[in-house]
Amino acid sequence: DAGVTQSPTHLIKTRGQQVTLRCSPKSGHDTVSWYQQALGQGPQFIFQYYEEEERQRGNFPDRFSGHQFPNYSSELNVNALLLGDSALYLCASSLRQGDQETQYFGPGTRLLVL
Amino acid sequence: QKEVEQDPGPLSVPEGAIVSLNCTYSNSAFQYFMWYRQYSRKGPELLMYTYSSGNKEDGRFTAQVDKSSKYISLFIRDSQPSDSATYLCATDLFHSGNTGKLIFGQGTTLQVKP
């Protein structure tokens, strides 16, 4: 059973550019969440997608947007990149079972903005 | 004040030692707590989760929640070099029930020396 997969693994961009990161959830999972993890910090919640809709959003600007496809895979888009956007971007998938929704994380995409 | 506080360490112990990792949280309404392990350049891996106060044991790992002091702990018995990683505590973003949107601590880096 494949876990959460993300692509690409590494990416280098320059300030002002746009980037798209991709995530395939664990088999059977219908919810995808995105997190940003700066070096030496814990992950910070960006947003969550369920049934192709953004269900919840963290404290991130509109430059961060996303999409979920009918097969539950997801994309994270960041426009007008800033140096501070350099981080590990993590995708997590989950499936709600009762009152519980356990997150499974992918390996992440490491983004460097120069 | 951050919602979840965690001492970043690093914490270095000899093999076989008992390790205690701790977090505090600010909102008494949080009820669902998790511990994730993150190896270098990997995504977080769920170790344990627990609701409300009390202990939960899984092999060498014990998670403990003290709601009266808003304090959560992870104990590792008979620590091994393979336990060397960053340990992240997390709680759910929303106060009533688990929705899968997580708030993480900064993470504690643990090194177990042979």
Tens-digit pLDDT profile for residues A69-78? 999 999 999 9
Q: Is the pLDDT of residue B98 over 60?
A: no
CA nearest to B19, candidates B65, B56, B73: B73
B49/A58 CB distance under 8 A: no
Q: Is the pLDDT of residue B61 over 90?
A: yes
* Contact of B19 with B111, CB cutoff 8 Å: no
Using pLDDT thresholds of 50, 70 and 90, give the confidence band for residue B95. very low
Q: Among A11-15, A49-53, B29-33, B86-90, which is the least confidently predicted range?
A: B29-33
pLDDT digits (tens, 9 = 90+) for B78-88: 999 999 999 99
pLDDT digits (tens, 9 = 90+) for A7-43: 999 999 999 999 999 999 999 999 999 999 999 999 9
For B25, other C-beta atoms within 10 Å of its C-beta total 23
Structure tokens at B32: 């669902």
Using pLDDT thresholds of 50, 70 and 90, give the confidence band for residue B93. low
Q: What is the pLDDT of residue A100?
A: 67
Residue tagged 């994270």 (tokens): A76
Interface test with B, best of A32, A45, A109 (most B CBs within 10 A): A45
Comparing alpha-carbon positions, the chain A residue that sits nearest to B107 is A42
On chain A, the residues whose CB falls within 8 A of the CB of B99 are 56, 101
B85 contact A CB<8A: no
Using pLDDT thresholds of 50, 70 and 90, give the confidence band for residue A94. confident
Residue A25 is given by DSSP the state P
CA atoms of B12 and A107, how far apart (whole Å): 25
A23 contact B CB<8A: no
Burial per residue of B78-105, b for 16 or more beta-carbon CB atoms within 10 angstroms, e otherwise:
ebeeebbbbbbbbbbbeeeebbbbbbbb
Torsion from C-alpha of B62, B68, B70, B73, nearest 10 degrees: -10
Average pLDDT (B99-109) is 87
CA nearest to A58, candidates B76, B104, B37: B104
B73 contact A CB<8A: no
